[in-house]
Chain A
Amino acid sequence: MAVTAAGEPLPGQFLTLRVSPFSDPLLRRPFAFSSYRRASVGRGARAGIVYQLRGGATRLLAELAPGSRVDILAPLGNSFPPPAEGETPILAGGGIGLGPLLFLAAALSEAGGPIAPRLVLGVRSASLLPSIPLPPGAVVCTDDGSSGFRGTPVDWIAANAPEGRVRLYGCGPAPMLVALAALAAARGWGASLSAEQWMACGVGACMGCALPRADGSGYLRACSDGPVFEASEIDWAGGR
């Protein structure tokens, strides 16, 4: 998509968009940025999102003609922290949770840190692999073994993680985030996980996208306190 408004997104940040001017579907839909390219001479800025055809809203999105104008609010939320010195960045994406990790992988590669990021993508089956290029060295995992590693990204990482300190970056369905948080805790790794939650406002006003704090002291908002949290901050299984 072409970008015309101000404000450059960082990896982990998201946008909300209105897929139709009508009242059904009603709410704006949140999507993490999967890419961003600055404007340059003769060329506008461009941003990307990754989505999967799931319901009425994504179908309408897919039917938009190239060049259509879409009502977008962005950039929203916080961003992934960079890995600390000596930490190996491992990026685990489940399904369309791939989006923000593609952006992060590109940013880390561009920054040229000493340790190249490793992206691990998990989908249920090969037919659900996204039709977008993955960065060099990316590992594909399928639940049914129809492509790449048979198992989840968490299984692969547990078996193949390098020695030394690791920082996990994750985005995907709740069971995957629960498993990533557990793996990070068991190995003493840092983990920055991006939450997926239904949102109404996207800016911190409605309290709809709450996530339970790990210490039981209340809730944090996925939209404005996150969407990226240190894994130990959130009760990832508490959001059902």
Chain B
Amino acid sequence: MKPDLRVSIGGLELANPVGLASGTFGYGSEYEELVDVDALGALYTKAVTLAPRTGNPVPRIVETPSGMLNSIGLANPGVEAFIAGKLPGLRGRRCAVFVNVAGATEEEYLEVLERIEAAAGTGPRAGVDGYEINLSCPNVKHGGLAFGTDAAQIERLTRALRDRTRRPIVVKLTPNVTDIAGIAKAAEAGGADAISCINTLVGMVIDVGKRRPVLAMGSGGLSGPAIRPVGVACCYRASRAVGIPVIGLGGIMSSGDALQYLLAGARAVQVGTGTFVDPRCAMGVLGGIEEWMRAQGVERIQDIPALLEV
């Protein structure tokens, strides 16, 4: 029997649980020749901010043991250029599109979401099916991580966003906190439809010869297999703290990695750095999940967490 791979996020049905993580796939066109995005469950776009951002000084990336640090700085063309240049291309997508929204102030988050809502309209093929709220970028001076570590602020911002859209809202959480369960609860209380975790971990690499950090900004966000156990543990804790779905990410390279997240309590997953290593990584993850479910006799994605024995 073919397993049922569908996943529901705030009433939105995803064809399957595998998505492409924000910041690793642009707005969907860069990998066009290599990846069949529409065969996946969801595309989470590169972050959109109110004004264009050129990004941080370089070097912006450095490889680390089983991972990488990035300090891109939310480089993006800004919401107006997104609406004019990227949204039309997203309207043709058959997979769900979550537009990742970032800002330096609460007002900026709201303004970005309002402008996209107005441009997208309410009909089918809007180009946006939901939003992922980036409350956890470690690479910008204001907003981002500052929002993501304050439960009261998360609840207030999520509620304000909730009042402005009927589309599903996914709040993306940082692992750079002492209690991710409390942060997840705050997002749920504010009306989020799901949370995604984890964003990158703050890290630094120092060039001993030059006696200075390799990245121009000093520190950056650690991603890749190195952070996977942290992500799985965060999903495990967050999914027990809230009733809304948890979307797991952090170091997923294979279906086995994704299944760790699903067993830990995630309802869906995202592949990020894995796409850099192998552009078809997410496709392999999807195929492997289905194969595993078939072999285990598991009928539905949401039945997986109950299989974990602890």
Residues of A within 8 A of B (CB): 18, 23-28, 71, 73, 197-212, 217-219, 224, 238-240
A25 partner residues in chain B, CB cutoff 8 A: 63
With A18-B278, A210-B55 known as contacts, the answer to whether A203 contacts B30 (CB < 8 A) is: yes
Given A204-B26, A206-B23, A207-B55: A18 touches B60 (CB 8 Å cut-off)? no
Docked-complex contact B58 and A240, CB < 8 angstroms: yes
| Residues of the B chain whose Cβ atoms lie less than 8 Å from the Cβ of A18 | 277-278
Q: Please determine whether B24 and A205 come into contact, CB atoms closer than 8 angstroms.
A: yes
Chain B residues with Cβ below 8 Å from A206 are 23-24, 61, 70, 72, 276
Are A201 and B62 closer than 8 Å at their CB atoms? no
CB pair B225 A198 closer than 8 Å = no
Q: Is A73 in contact with B279, judged by CB distance below 8 angstroms?
A: yes
Residues of B within 8 A of A27 (CB): 63, 68, 276-277
Bound-state Cα–Cα, A202 to B275, Å: 11
Asked if B60 and A26 make an inter-chain contact with CB atoms under 8 angstroms apart, the answer reads no
Residue B17 at the chain A interface, CB threshold 8 Å: no
* B residues less than 8 Å from A23 (CB atoms): 66, 224-226, 253
Question: Chain B residues near A207 (CB, 8 Å)?
Answer: 55, 60, 72, 75
Assess whether B216 is interfacial by the CB under 8 Å rule: yes
Contacts of B46 in A (CB 8 A): 205
Q: Number of B residues whose C-beta is below 8 Å from A?
A: 35
Given known pairs A211-B58, A218-B54, the reply for A24 and B278 (CB within 8 Å) is no
Taking CB atoms, residues of chain A closer than 8 Å to B63 are 25-27, 198
CA distance A26 to B62 in the complex (A): 11
Residues of A close to B34: CB separation below 8 A: 73, 203
Q: Which residue from A26, A201, A202, A203 sits with its C-beta under 8 Å from B67?
A: A26
B59 touches A205 (CB 8 A): no
A238 and B54 CA atoms in complex are apart in Å by 14
- A-side contacts of B273, CB under 8 Å: 26, 200
Within 8 A of A (CB), among B42-96: 46, 54-55, 57-63, 65-68, 70, 72, 75
Which A residues are in CB contact (< 8 Å) with B60?
207-210
The residues of B that contact A208 with a CB separation of less than 8 Å are 60-61, 70, 72
Which B residues between 18 and 53 are near A, CB-CB below 8 angstroms?
23-26, 30-31, 34, 46
Cα distance, A208 to B59, chains bound together (Å): 8
**Given A204-B30, A212-B57, 20 more pairs with CB closer than 8 A:** A18-B277, A26-B63, A26-B66, A26-B273, A27-B68, A73-B34, A73-B279, A198-B62, A200-B61, A201-B30, A205-B26, A205-B275, A206-B61, A207-B55, A208-B61, A211-B58, A218-B55, A219-B55, A219-B75, A239-B58
Report how far A197 CA is from B24 CA in the complex, Å: 18
With A27-B63, A205-B30 already in contact, the answer to whether A219 and B24 are too (CB < 8 A) is: no
Taking the closest CB of chain B, its distance from the CB of A225, in whole angstroms, is: 12
| Complex Cα spacing A240 to B213, Å | 11
CB pair A198 B30 closer than 8 Å: no
Q: Please name all residues of chain B whose beta carbon is closer than 8 Å to the beta carbon of A198 when the two chains form the complex.
A: 59, 61-63
Distance of A8 Cα from B23 Cα, bound (Å): 30
Inter-chain contact A212/B58, CB cutoff 8 Å: yes
Residues in B with CB closer than 8 Å to A203 are 30-31, 34, 279
